[in-house]
Each structure stands twice: as structure tokens, then as C-alpha cells.
Chains A and B, each alone.
Chain A
Amino acid sequence: MLTLRERIILPSQRLTGAIKMVVRIRVRNAETGATVDMELELENTVEEIIEGVSAFWEKDPGAYVIRKGRRLLRGQQKVQELDIQANEELELIPDPEGGNR
């Protein structure tokens, strides 16, 4: 059973000894309502957030997107481009790709 509000640190952050600016955000799982806190560097991308929380929640294989308020974030966008505030909440939502079978 996963504990809510655990903290995710992306692999890239574990390898560096340099002091970098880190922003803490919260990601909500749209399917379960669970949340998890993430520490991100400004260079991290939305795709890395998706992969980090998908692995943490052991999501089924499939396409996912991240929303910030009423806006969908593009995968290649970096944290520094997102105008994101500390402790701001993003949401992971499935991007349904079925419909013909």
C-alpha cells in the first residue's frame, strides 16, 4: 500500500553534488485522489514528472498528461517555464487512446 504524500526525488537529482534551486510541488492522481510531493529542479521536464509519479503509483501502461489549473502542460516544458509556485498542485490524468475496439 502506498503512503500518501511521500516525497519523490527524480534520479537526476541524486547524482549531482552541486547545490541547485529546488521547488517542491504536489501532484494529484486524478484516478485515485492520492497526492505525492515532488522536489524538482528547474531543468526537470513535465515528462520527467509524469514518469516519476507513474512509477511511484505503479500506473498501468498508457498515455498520461499533466494539468496545471485549466491548462495542459507539454511534455518537453521545463519546470522553469511553468511559472510554478512552491507547493502548487498539478494533476496527472490519463489520456485515453482507445475507442475503436
Chain B
Amino acid sequence: MGPIRPGERDEDRHDRTKLITWVDIERVRSAKVLVVGAGALGNEAVKNLVLFGFRQVDVMDMDSVVRSNLSRCVLFREGDQRSGKGKASLVAERARELDPEARVEAMEEKVQSLEPADMDRYDVILGCLDNVAARLHLNANSYHARVPYVDGGTRGFRGRVQAVVPPLTPCLQCGMNRSHFKVMERRFSCTGQDTVFYQPKMAAEITTTSVIAAVQVREAVKILSGRTAIAHVMHYDGLAGTSEVLALDIDPGCPNHSAGRLS
């Protein structure tokens, strides 16, 4: 060991994180993460991942920036809506500015293009989406590939995070009911002549977005560091200032757990 110098520890970007003894910073650095959705939650999640020390992050989104995104997206700038660049590319570009050693890559594709074989490349997947159909696709494929999936969702001052660790925990679909499928059906309503893609404008603001994305990234760090993830769904009420973790059972009728698939 060579001589030490005054102030040496302050030169290490992750010195303070290393003081948290259970965090496996080497695992964090080597892990490959997929973030699906580069909007409000995706911005916060990627920012947190890179600041935490993740070095390999893929960001998927096929959408482009609109000005109303700017109230919740820390990595977007005024004028991005006219740049012609996709959300995923902008998030990747700005995240690399946060830590030039981080390899953050953009994937401007639909989530439906992902198959189980694609999931195998990742150690953990974060869902930062805004619709039930995309969540179900990501949930099923990550569960089938046995890759942990941490899903986040917000509506106004409320939020939720679910950590899915196959084959141990229930998956997203286990907790869904007819009200979720009605929401999904409304998005793809059929007029008799054509299928109309209905994109609801949901209430959203940055404080709840920040909390939910932070919990998602923390759960990813816990899973990668060998700690037990939340069991199973955290519901957050920003107005009451409360959060609770609620247990969920595996649904015996869920196709992701039925015979022939994972148990």
C-alpha cells in the first residue's frame, strides 16, 4: 500500500456510498440495468442510477419531448422539444454528463420489441411506464427470464413500487384486477371502424415522481447487494406523508406462474 494523502478520500466519487457497509458497490458498478421509459420516472431513475455508481444503463423509449415534460424531467432542457432527439437519447446524453465513466445507451424502440432473450442481458429492469399493457409485457418477459423487475407508478401525489424477484415473489399481474384491464381497454378502444389510441393525461408532479423513482433505484441496489426487496408493494400517499408495504399472494391463475412456466 502506498502513502496516503490529505483529502484523498474526497477525490473518490463514491467514498460516502462505500461507507454504507451492505452496499455492494462493485456489483452495482458491474451490473447491467434496463430502464424502460425515459419520461418523468425514467429521468429520475437514470439520474439516481448514475449518481449511485451504476456504469451500464440502457434506456428505452420511443417518444419525443414535449414542453409539459419539463416540470418533472431533470435531464431535459428548454428547447429539447425542438431538437428532434428522442427522450431516450437525451436522457442517455445528459446522464453521461453526470458521470463520464457511465455507459448509458439509448434504445428508441417500443417495449413490445423486447423478448425474454433480450432480458437475459440485464441484472435488473426498472419499469418507468405509464400504461398497463406495457407493464404486463415487461413483467411477463422479465419474469420468464428470471430477471428482477422493479415497477414504479404515479398518479398525482400517490405512487407505488413493486419489486418482483422471480421465482420467489408474486408478479405485477398477480395484483391486477378488472379495473386495470378496463384502463388498458380504454387505451385501445375500437370505434367499429378503427382502433383509437387513447392517451389519458394523468395528474403528475415532481415530488412524488422523485420519491417513487428513488425507491425503485434503492430496491435495485438492495437486490443486487443481496438484501431482501420490499415484500411486495409499497403504496405512497404524498399528501398524508405515509408509505406502507403491503403483502400480495401469488395468483394461482396468473399465466406467469401457471404450470409450464415458472412456479
Contacts and interface: CB of A to CB of B under 8 A. Distances in A.
Interface string A59-101: 0011111010011101110000000000000000111111111
Interface string B155-180: 11011100000000000001111111
A74 B153 contact: no
B251 interface: yes
B95 interface: no
Contact of B129 (A51, A71, A99): A99
A96 B177 contact: no
Interface residues of A, number: 27
A29 interface: no
Contacts of B175: 65, 72, 74, 95
Contacts, number: 121
A20 to B, nearest CB: 23
B179 A54 contact: yes
B40 A50 contact: no
Contact of B209 (A47, A76, A99): A99
B237 A101 contact: no
Contacts of B27: none
B179 A74 contact: no
A46 interface: yes
A93 B68 CA distance: 27
Contacts of B244: 70
Contact of B177 (A50, A71, A98): A50
A61 B199 CA distance: 13
A46 B61 CA distance: 35
A75 B132 contact: no
A70 to B, nearest CB: 6
Contacts of B86: none
A72 B247 contact: yes
Contact of B248 (A30, A51, A74, A93): A74
B248 to A, nearest CB: 5
11 contacts: A47-B177, A61-B186, A62-B183, A74-B175, A96-B153, A97-B202, A98-B154, A98-B155, A99-B152, A99-B154, A101-B40
